[in-house]
Amino acid sequence: MTRVLSSSLCARLVLVSLVASLSLATPAFAYCRKAGPISAGLKKLISEFARVAPGHTGKATVQDFLVGVSKIPPQAMAALTQRAPAVITAHGKGVGSVADQGATRLQFSGIFARHKSFFRVPEYIHGHYRVAHGMLTLYYNPGGALALGEPIPLLGIPFFRHINHVEITARRILFFWGTNAHGRPDRCYVAEPDG
């Protein structure tokens, strides 16, 4: 009897894990989660990139990239605060590279869009960007990408997805996972009105 119950429990855990992984791959436009009043933070992030002139550099903090994330544990927040700002290098009008070097890889939880989320920040973040018509697109290089995680239902264990790229406007964030370079977004978040 014990073996039958154990096998049944294992089967259920595997099923829950599969459902969780499939839910993370659901096309974004099936639903867009409300992310709170984050427009001001999104505009600030976009402007940090847009104002860098070709041949020049600018900076953005890791906190700038975590717009709308709250309840980060104090130890993780201290490590984020000590991390050097990301260096934005413009190679042309509205295009360039971005890189950030930290002392170590970080993993922590926080609240985003009213849901508990998990974040992995690699020791070295690197990628490139394009900004035009009020939209910032960040493309992460393999090995230098942020990863977002959501807790598997009933288990609470985080299931992570690496970001291929993210499209940011003052009103919306679209995430594309893994190898999804040109398909439909995997996650959609919309900014709510201030106040």
Residue 156 in this model has a pLDDT that exceeds 80: no
Average pLDDT for 135-149: 91
Q: What is the pLDDT of residues 98-123, one digit of tens each?
A: 998 887 889 999 999 998 999 998 88
Q: What is the pLDDT of residues 175-193, one digit of tens each?
A: 999 889 888 999 999 998 8
Residue 134 in this model has a pLDDT that exceeds 50: yes
Q: Does 114 fall in a domain? A: yes
In the structure, what pLDDT confidence band is assigned to residue 144 with cuts at 50, 70 and 90? confident
Which residues span the domain enclosing 16? 2-190
Residue 1 in this model has a pLDDT that exceeds 50: no
Q: Does 122 fall in a domain? A: yes
Q: What is the pLDDT of residues 71-82, one digit of tens each?
A: 999 999 999 888
**pLDDT confidence of residue 28:** 42
Q: Does 183 fall in a domain? A: yes
Q: Does 117 fall in a domain? A: yes
Q: Does 160 fall in a domain? A: yes
Q: Does 119 fall in a domain? A: yes
Q: Does 195 fall in a domain? A: no
CB atoms inside a 10 Å sphere around CB 153: 11
The number of distinct structural domains making up the chain is: 1
Task: Write down the mean pLDDT value for the chain.
Answer: 83
Q: Does 99 fall in a domain? A: yes
Antiparallel, parallel or unpaired: β 187-190 and 33-34 = parallel
